[in-house]
Amino acid sequence: MDTITTDTFYNGQLQVRQKRSGYRFSIDAVLLAYHSMPYAAANTVLDLGTGCGIIPLMLAYHHPKVRICGIEIQEELAHIAALNVEENGMTDQIRILCRDMKTLKYDMVSGPVELVVSNPPYRKANSGRINPNQERAIARHEIKATLSDVIETAHRMLCTSGRFVTIYPAERMTDLLTQMRVIGIEPKYLRMIHSERDTEAKLILAQGIRRGRPGIKVGPPLVIYNEDGTYTDEVNAMYKIEN
């Protein structure tokens, strides 16, 4: 049986279990959660591809009145996500569904929702080396869900003027923004993510509005590491910010 590890956030107030050798969340999820914080306490949120539930857990910690549904197609990951919800005392806020996002309907998630977040697979199914670990392969490659599947599901489940937030490789930025517009989620905000100050952007954070008007804003670059390899002050704050 795979060993389960426990990570803590916010001075130990949030505990997250995940498999040691299976799919494990990365800093991408932390960045996405921080930039997805609901605008209002009454928001309903849908997380597509929730993994161990890290994004719902972080959102629920900061917004006790928010209601979140995490969707995960892999049964073992969904089980761990549900365990994390229970052990953090958030069953009144978060519900985990083990389901293919392509089959989602309003009544399954008490929709339509006001916010959809997703850290989708970054690579096309036929590109690059496929990880021999099935959990990691499905999380990283478009095996069970493509970029179009994610955006189409977000569009279907969002209310009018609802918000979609995602993180994606910078090299596929054109794919992301084009498909958002074509499907009906207008790109409204973009932020480039750099490992260090003098490196090219590897990732982007993008936000869009269902049926939004054209017009996009580009935020300041987000730098993850200082020259000595430590997190920048902004990233540190994302890990340590208190409720």
pTM more than 0.85 = yes
SS3 content of the chain, % helix, strand, coil (to 5): 30, 30, 40
d(CA 112, CA 45): 9
Q: What is the CATH number of domain 4-240?
A: 3.40.50.150
| Residue 191 token pair | 């932020």
Summarize pLDDT for 103-142 with one digit per residue, the tens.
Answer: 999 889 887 999 999 998 865 555 555 444 444 444 443 4
Ranges of each domain in the chain: 4-240
Summarize pLDDT for 79-109 with one digit per residue, the tens.
Answer: 999 999 999 999 999 999 999 999 999 889 8
Q: Is 64 exposed, middle or buried (0-12, 13-18, 19+ CB in 10 A)?
A: exposed
